[in-house]
Amino acid sequence: MKEIGILNRAIAKIISEQGHGDLLMVCDAGFAIPKGIEVVDLALAPNKPMVMEMLTELKQYFSVEKMILANQTKETNPTLFKDVAGSFGEGIEVEMIDHTELKQKSHEVKAVIRTGDFTAYGNVILVSGAGERWYCEK
């Protein structure tokens, strides 16, 4: 029986299927998820779980080279923006786009993890990347 790591089998599967450059979205409770995209719905109740809780857990098992956030996140909820932008550590690129463009970009993700977060514009697209485990001679 699995007792450590991400216990949710659907999320564990999604992470294991991500390759370099693939897109994974973590979204708030109200995001309009495109039809046909694989979804893991974790929304239990209002604000349970929160986007930041999901990102904190993902960071332990998932390598990210870039995050894509809506300009409206920074404008509307600057604390959330700061927390999300720093959630995978320093040196991770943060690309800012309009929320309308983020909705279009969501059609390219391999999967979406939907939270119960009711923080406006609490959506982030994670671009899978090579983590610190990779050996590079130069």
CA-based nearest residue to 85, from 62, 68, 98, 102: 68
The Cα 24–Cα 128 span in angstroms is 8
Is 69 within 8 Å of 96 (Cβ atoms)? yes
CA distances from 113 to 19, 76, 87, 121, 136 (A): 17, 22, 16, 15, 32
Give catalytic residue positions.
20
CA angle 104–112–87, rounded 5-degree value: 95
Verify cis geometry, omega within 30 degrees of 0, for the bond prior to 49: yes
